[in-house]
Amino acid sequence: MEEESKLVEKMIEFGYSKEISLRVIKRSRAKTIDEVLNWIEQSEQNGGDGYDADDADDADGGDGASPAERLNDQDGVTYTTHTTSATQNGEGKSKMTPEEAQKKAMELQKKIREKKMMKEKEEEIQKEKNRISMAKEMQKRREQIEEFERKKYIEHLEKEKHEHKKEKEKQLELLRKEYEAKFGIAYQVQSEKKSIKDLTENEKREEIAILLNSLKNKHKDNKKELLSSLAILKTYFANIKDNILEKKFQKIKKENKVFLEKIKVYEEMLQVFLLVGFEDTGDFYAIKNFPNTYLIASAIKFIDLIMKTLSS
């Protein structure tokens, strides 16, 4: 009751009669002056005055309070204010003039509108945050599904590969038994030689060393010409290594006289070219992608060792 009395006093300060104040508080169930004014504003926007016609009649005839004229604020919103009623001891003294009450009511209602706008803005911001959060969550789930599908596909490939290997071993075993039954001797399985593309980097490196060593042993009686060719081969590789971004050193014409006379005459050297990354493109041997400096540096190292051995 004490809170209600304070609220009534505040409404009286705004120019509403005590009777009207009590009725508005009762109908709106408001606890603060902001809630009361907000309720009145909403009632006016809905076509009412914040209280019904009977309330107005009771207010005008019961305690002698007369309704003030309707006033429009700067936003065009209409408000209804009332003069204060006579107090129970017969005093008819007003605490505020209608103009002052109107001004104060407008200020408070402006604050209410600002709070409402602020709340709506915060709600919009929160909605946007929720939308972004949901979008991120959906993206995360999509990526998880894609990762799952990728792993599933890889597992499927591995399974097929394993089954193919088992089938190959099965057929090989049948072939071995058939061969041994037919010829009476053990079947020798010939290991398949890998292509250059199937070799690992270290396997290529080992193959380069084997080829150069084989070249040395095969042509040890013709050291002078071999040393000359090895020096040119080293120059080719050194130019690539020292000028890694220069494409002109990564392409050699097949019909180049020096290449024909010094390199192509040795099958092993041509294989070394292919192992370090050169590819047959028709008229040229060329490195299509970025040079493999590890293999090129290894080849240079092996060439130096072979040349040192041949020179000793």
Task: Say whether pLDDT at 199 is over 60.
Answer: yes
Q: Which pTM was predicted?
A: 0.41
Q: Which structural domain range is residue 294 located in? A: 201-311
In a domain, 11, yes or no: yes
In a domain, 194, yes or no: no
Question: What is the per-residue pLDDT for 90?
Answer: 38
The CATH number linked to 259 is 1.20.58.2190
In a domain, 12, yes or no: yes
In a domain, 275, yes or no: yes
Weakest mean pLDDT among 61-70, 271-280, 282-291: 61-70
From the number of C-beta atoms within 10 Å of its C-beta (0-12, 13-18, 19+), residue 57 rates as: exposed
Phi, psi dihedrals of residue 32, rounded to the nearest 5°: -130, 165
Task: Say whether pLDDT at 238 is over 70.
Answer: yes
Domains identified in the chain, total number: 2
Mean pLDDT of 135-145: 91
Contact 229, 237 (CB under 8 A): no
Nearest to 10 by CA among 74, 104, 75, 91: 104
pLDDT tens track for 201-217: 898 999 999 999 888 88
Total count of residues recorded for the chain = 312
Cα 309 to its chain centre, rounded Å, is 58
pLDDT tens track for 33-79: 778 777 877 776 665 544 443 443 443 434 433 333 333 333 333 34
Cα 30 to its chain centre, rounded Å, is 49
Q: What's the CA gap between 146 and 223, in Å, rounded?
A: 60
Mean pLDDT of 197-201: 86
Q: Are strands 78-79 and 279-280 parallel, antiparallel or unpaired?
A: unpaired
Q: Is 107 left (phi over 0), alpha (psi -120 to 50) or beta?
A: alpha
Question: What is the per-residue pLDDT for 91?
Answer: 42
In a domain, 258, yes or no: yes
* Average pLDDT taken over every residue of the chain: 78
Residue with tokens 């058939």: 178
In a domain, 259, yes or no: yes
In a domain, 305, yes or no: yes
